[in-house]
Amino acid sequence: MSCVVVVGLVGLASRPRLLYVIHNFLPESVAGTELHTLWLSLELAKKYDIFLFTSTHDPMLEEYAIRDDHFQGLKVRRVKVANKFWLDPSDNYLNSRVADIFADYVDEVRPALVHIHHTVGLSSSIVEVAVSKGVPVVLQMRDFYYMCQKVHLFNAALHLCDGPEDGRKCADCIKTDSDRYLRRHETPPPATAFEQAGIYRTEYMRRILLLPDTIICPSPFVKEKYVEFGVPANKMIVSPTGIKLPQTPMRQEGPNEGVVFGFIGQPSYYKGIDTLLDAFGMLDQTRAELRICGGEPEVVERLRKRVNGLSVQFLGNYSHEQLPDILSHVDVVVQPSICHESYSLAIREAFAAGIPVIVSNIRAQMDAVRNEKNGLHFRAGDAVDLSHKMNLFIQNPALLHDYSKHIPHVRSITDQASEFAKIYQKLIQAKRRSRPTMVARLSTAREYRTDALLQRLEQVFRPSIVATRDQLESLRNERESLRNELEAIHGSLGYKWMTFYSSRIDRLMPDGTKRGKLRKKVTSFFKS
């Protein structure tokens, strides 16, 4: 029996190890990136040993404590990161404690390859650490985090942004996102610190994006934006995100049943939920229904009050296993995002179920839907235009069938996992790139990280140190002034007469009396 176990362990150990990095993971967080990472892990676990490094929000853990567990057979190391020690805007993307913990985990796991899915909320310097360990590194672009403080290329006024340029334009976004932390500072950083923070963030991110062996983008649009940002095009490949979803038949009800519109995902401002609700309110409520699938209870309750009287159902959060049933009761999916999407799993999930989609005319969601072929485009944020496009399906239900005939093939997670396995194998077997080149790039990235940290010391810690030094100097001056006053009192004739008569009286009072205790306190005070 023991020999069988040993053979099994040896066989298991011989499989290459992959280390995945992701900002959040199930069961604590269930969103598109987390689900896709899980699906990939389970598929690739057939050939590799998968280890995951992620964060946890476990309230029972101290800051930076680690917890190891298993999820669906995957080995997961979670580090508690609440950012409770935030001091400077650079803390939003640089966390040396997390980087050190990750470095130790790399040494412990000794992976054949590191695949970084997301570092938001962890530390972007994880890319540096992974490359410095001498293993191949794959970085997957899930959004625009590495070029945008707000992730989705929004500015502080919540309008679409083309990119950071040299970083100065990011100052307002950084200040807005820093406000909740700045309350901790008695002396907040000067306004110029935010502009400088934007420059350092932009330049540091540009440097670390030169380090991975391969960068995977989910859509051509994402690749185009990062090429604009300065990443070499030949370093990036476009790999459409695969999904795991069984085919779901469309609703079989006739046109007299009305049209059921569906929204899938978190009903946030960024996802255009306000535009959708305003547009739906303009429709004939007897011929249309809207189902909002997703949302925390407090969000759902707020939206429910907003649509009082409309034919809207709120299904709240759902599991991925429930999605086929949900989609089987929907005719048209509406994705009204007002921000830049990188890909949109919801569009592909709808297509996999044979459902046409209405999207805003913002890339990359616009690129995924062929207007008037398998869905419709509307002007982003324009509720009137969206209402008009939704009404087309109500007035002409035959469009549902016509558009469904042109829905494209949706890539499976199995197919993408097979592609990734080939990428991994090629990188693992290939010789590492020129070490001098890699060392130079690492050195440059570290220099920018060091500059960002020195900027923090200059703008935050130094003013605090100066303020503390001034307070101490003030206390010393006050103490010296009191000492001079006391010396003047001690030398006065009145004080000498008072001490003479009080000492005579004190000798008559035992130590345990109130007078005796007071005498001891007074004597002790003046001696000090």
Which residue has better confidence, 351 or 14? 351
49-91 per-position pLDDT tens digit: 999 999 999 999 999 999 999 999 999 999 999 877 777 788 8
Pairing status of strand 214-217 against strand 137-140: parallel
Instruction: List, in order, residues 6 or more apart from 33 with CB less than 8 Å away.
Output: 22, 23, 24, 117, 118, 142
437 has pLDDT over 80 = no
- The answer to whether 140 and 115 are in contact (CB under 8 A) is yes
Q: Provide mean pLDDT across the span 200-213.
A: 93
pLDDT number for residue 406: 93
Confidence of residue 2 (pLDDT cuts 50, 70, 90): very low
When pLDDT is cut at 50, 70 and 90, the band that residue 501 belongs to is: low
Mean pLDDT of the chain: 83
Helix or strand run (H / E) with residue 273: helix 273-280
pLDDT digits (tens, 9 = 90+) for 289-314: 999 998 888 888 888 888 888 999 99
What pTM was estimated for this model as a whole? 0.79
Question: What value does the mean pLDDT take over residues 269-275?
Answer: 90
Q: Token digits for 346?
A: 């919801």
Parallel, antiparallel, or unpaired for β 66-71 and 74-80?
A: antiparallel
Q: Give CATH for domain 255-410.
A: 3.40.50.2000
Query: What is the C-alpha to C-alpha distance for residues 159 and 251, in angstroms, rounded to an integer?
Result: 37
Bond before 364 cis per omega within 30 degrees: yes
Domain boundaries 14-242+430-462, CATH class: alpha beta
Angle at the Cα of 45 from the Cα atoms of 40 and 47, rounded to 5 degrees: 115
Predicted confidence band of residue 186 (pLDDT cuts 50, 70, 90): low
Query: Residue 1's pLDDT is what?
Result: 38
Maximal C-alpha separation, the chain:
113
Least confident span in 45-59, 163-177, 251-265: 251-265
What mean pLDDT do residues 153-178 have? 88
Dihedral through CA 224, CA 228, CA 230, CA 231, nearest 10? 0
Q: What are the two backbone dihedrals, phi and then psi, of residue 101, each rounded to the nearest 5 degrees?
A: -65, -40
Residues facing 372 on adjacent strands: none
**Could you tell me the pLDDT band of residue 449, with boundaries at 50, 70 and 90?**
confident
